[in-house]
Amino acid sequence: MINENLINEYSGTTFSVTKVNGVSRMQYASSDEHWIENREEYGSIFMGDGPCPDPDNPFVLGSVLHKRIFEDIPDYENVLVLGLGMGLLPQYIKENKSFVKVIDVVDNNQEVIDYVTFIDDSINVIKADAYTYTPDKNYDLIIADLWWHHQITGEMKDNLKNHYWDNINYNGRIYFPINPIAYIKTA
Ligand SMILES: C[S@@+](CC[C@H](N)C(=O)[O-])C[C@H]1O[C@@H](n2cnc3c(N)ncnc32)[C@H](O)[C@@H]1O
């Protein structure tokens, strides 16, 4: 999670941020269901470090599915995150994955980009539409985190996978944490 002392409440056009019991909550104007809270679990679960309730019980999966995505993954030095939000994922990676050398983030909302000044300076934020952005480098891990709940469709996944495939290194992958599923580039 981000240090709460760095986050200010905000009331804007496309989103607002309020503190509830000391936890910042970013609420997008697009829908009541489009919100994100400054919680450690967001980064830890999505990056495979979450608590494992019972790995032997398939009915109590918890974050086991996310853990599996990272089971055979080599150290991923170059990371692209699609969707800035509060910056929870890129900041978690910065603080917990010391082998990562590059963290780039794409978001199409300039207001969000202007607001999120509290993440590490080494994280590069790029204003672009994630579906059309063409990176100038290749990545070991691309994390597509553009959705809330289950708005994601198979077509969206295919479009992003096809669009970024040439920018994924050998044994690299594009990961959809909301599902969770990853496509590995093996050749
Ligand atoms: C669920 S939030 C991302 C949370 C973020 N990864 C984090 O760690 O806090 C989704 C973000 O994706 C952005 N987004 C949605 N559609 C997009 C698109 N087509 N291109 C770029 N960004 C997009 C939204 O502006 C929003 O900031």
User: Within 13 A of 26's CA, how many CA atoms are on the CB side?
Assistant: 21
pTM: 0.95
Atom number in ligand 1 closest to CA 43: 8
State the CATH number of the domain containing residue 114.
3.40.50.150
Dihedral of alpha carbons 128, 129, 132, 138, sign: positive
| Ligand 1 neighbourhood includes 1 CB (under 6 angstroms) | no
Place of tokens 């959705």: 147
Query: Tens-of-pLDDT digits for all 187 residues of the chain?
Result: 999 999 999 999 999 999 999 999 999 999 999 999 999 889 998 999 987 666 665 555 668 888 889 987 889 999 999 999 999 999 999 999 999 999 999 999 999 999 999 999 999 999 999 999 999 999 999 999 999 877 889 999 999 999 999 999 999 999 999 988 999 998 7
| Ligand 1 neighbourhood includes 123 CB (under 6 angstroms) | no
| Ligand 1 neighbourhood includes 109 CB (under 6 angstroms) | yes
Q: Could you give the CA distance from residue 134 to residue 151 in angstroms, rounded to a whole number?
A: 24
Euclidean distance between the first and final Cα of the chain, in Å? 36
Per the CB < 8 A criterion, the answer to whether 109 and 34 are in contact is no
Per the CB < 8 A criterion, the answer to whether 104 and 134 are in contact is no
The number of beta carbons lying within 10 Å of the beta carbon of residue 146 is 20
Query: How distant, in Å, are the alpha carbons of 38, 47, 130, 144, 186 from that of 160?
Result: 26, 19, 8, 8, 17
Q: How far is the CA of 63 from the centre of ligand 1 (A)?
A: 21
Report the b/e string of 10-21 with b at 16+ CB within 10 A.
Answer: eeeeebebeeee
Structural domains counted in the chain: 1
**Residue-range definition of the domain harbouring residue 113:** 4-184
Which of 82, 93, 143 is the best mutation target for the ligand 1 pocket, counting ligand atoms within 8 Å of the beta carbon and taking the most?
82
Per the CB < 8 A criterion, the answer to whether 160 and 130 are in contact is yes
| Ligand 1 neighbourhood includes 129 CB (under 6 angstroms) | yes
